[in-house]
Structure 1
């Protein structure tokens, strides 16, 4: 089934069918619905090259992925991309990934925007006073940020999790259970989400007249190996922490391993709360001691970002400019009262 055959089947001109498929406002709703129904029934798929020539649109979302020798693959980013891809497929969009040297992200974003291969960009791994924001605002195509940037005016479109509140709530639970020495196994310290999670814990401790000391903090890429190394260091302290917050279930996997190897019982000798990105292969309820978590799905975030970007390209009026999701605190067996 090609465009000519579809137009003959409907008794419409090829121009009308094409405009209906591409969202032109001059096509009335009844005609648009009739065309979309025929597309679904016949399995027609538009020629992307012809569609691009007709509309000037690529039908693609773009992102820059920093990569270099020794760069770790990130299961969290993979889960986010899965959500992005699911939404793109629903709307017959592609997404284009441009690998780039980490020192040339701004240049790579400019080149990708200028290539004509994408209609919109999204940005991740936000930092304090992120210089990429000003550059994106200067481009003639829409963009969306996953996260936020401390120190920057919040005048850009974003979707973020309230990381500060999530870790404040998690710390508050441990404090209510009598814990006073609470440690943090966090992501890279220059990333915005890690900064906000540290702030949430520090504020909760301060409310009780306590402090988050440097000996109780660890920042690294979020792998199980780094989670184990951090927990082993905490357990060697003269006064080890009785409660620990982890920025990922991946970090928690290593932390729990260190706790077990030390002969300690999770939820009794030491309590642990992890942030759960809802990774399908690492469910907190399947740990030997089910983990208490702050829960927010990365896949759902990826899907929502794609829906918002595509919606903005289709000029849908109901798309918000900014969203801040609240994480859900789910209490399981890895948290218990502090030992006297």
Structure 2
């Protein structure tokens, strides 16, 4: 079925049908839903070239993908893409990945903007004073940041979770249970999510007059092996921690393996809290001892990023609005009072 046939069947103009399928705000919601339902029912898919000519939109969301020997495939990223892809597929949007050298993403952003092959891009893993955000702001290409940067002198659209609040609440719980030697196994400490998490834990400890000392902090990519190595090094300290707060369930696997190798148990010897991005294949309740977590769905974040990018493409959203989701603290069997 082509556009003309679909329009005739619905008794609408081809322009109205095209605008409804491409999310134009002047088409009312009832008409848009009727057009979209009919298009799905009859298997209509707009021709990408025709859509570009008719609307000036490519129907593409872009992402600059860092590559190189130092870049690992991150399961968090894969889960995020699943959520983004679920929304994009159901709204006739495609995702374009543009590979870039990890230390020179800005060149690729310039090329993507100049080629006009995508209608909008999203930025992930932001750092303080992130130059990618400043560049996109300058280029005028619609964008959305997954996370937040600090130190920029202009507002920008973003979606983040309350990393500081999450680790503050987790730290406060551990302090209430009598722990004073609390270690942090964090993600990459050049990225703002990790900075916020450390800040939240420090704030929770400071209320009780406890300081998070540098020997109690480990920062690395969020892999099982890094969780293992960080835990082994922490437990080799002259004064070892009685509780560990780590930035990922995947790191938590390494923490548990290291404790097992050393003959230590959770929570008798070490209390453990991890951040849970809600992986369907890795559940905190299935750990040997159900794991206490700060919990937020990264798949849901991916879907919301796609939804907001679609709104920015269609003109329904044009303000630099920030969105910060609260994070739940779920207490399970992996925490207990500090050992005497």
SS in 2 for 1:267: coil
Q: Which residue of 2 aligns with 1:202?
A: 202
Q: Distance in 2 between matches of 1:55 and 1:66?
A: 31
Aligned counterpart, 1:253: 253
Cα root mean square deviation, aligned? 1.9
Partner SS, residue 139 of structure 2: coil
- 1:121-140 aligned at under 5 Å gives the runs 121-140=121-140
Partner of 1:162: 162
CA deviation after TM superposition for structure 1 residue 312, in Å: 1.9
Aligned to 2:175: 175
User: 1:230-250: per-residue Cα shift (whole Å, max 9, x none)?
Assistant: 101111111110000000001
Per-residue deviation, 1:5:
2.4
- Contact 2:24–2:315 at 8 Å: present in 1 too? no
CA 1:54–1:227: 2 relative to 1, 3 Å: same
Report deviation, 1:35: 3.3
Partner in structure 1 of residue 220 of structure 2: 220
Seen in structure 2, the aligned counterparts of structure 1 residues 239 and 306 have a Cα distance that, compared at 3 Å, is: same
Q: CA deviation at 1:34?
A: 4.5
Q: CA deviation at 1:13?
A: 4.3
Pairwise mapping of residues 15-54 of structure 1 onto structure 2 (< 5 A)? 15-24=15-24, 32-54=32-54
Judging changes above 3 Å, is the alpha-carbon distance between structure 1 residues 44 and 243 closer, same or farther for their aligned structure 2 residues?
A: same
Aligned residue runs from structure 1 range 238-317, under 5 A = 238-316=238-316
**TM-score calculated relative to the size of structure 2:** 0.95
* Cα shift at 1:278: 0.6
1:106 alignment counterpart: 106
1:300-323 Cα deviation digits (max 9, x unpaired): 111101101101222336998111
Distance 1:37-1:89 versus aligned 2 partners, 3 A rule: closer
CA contact (8 A) 1:311 1:319 kept: no
Number of matched pairs? 340
Deviation, 1:69, is 1.8
Runs of 4 or more off by more than 6 Å in structure 1? none
Paired residues of 1:164 and 1:196 also in contact (CA < 8 A): yes
Q: What secondary structure does 1:103 align onto?
A: coil
Q: 1:29 to 1:285 in 2, by over 3 A?
A: closer
List per-residue Cα deviations over 1:21-57 (Å, max 9, x = no partner). 3345665666555533432332211111111111110
Q: Secondary structure at the match of 1:69?
A: coil
Structure 2 residue runs without a partner (length 5+): none
- Provide structure 1 residue ranges, at least 5 long, that are not aligned to the other structure: none
Using the size of structure 1 for normalisation, the TM-score is: 0.95
2-structure distance, mates of 1:135, 1:68: 22
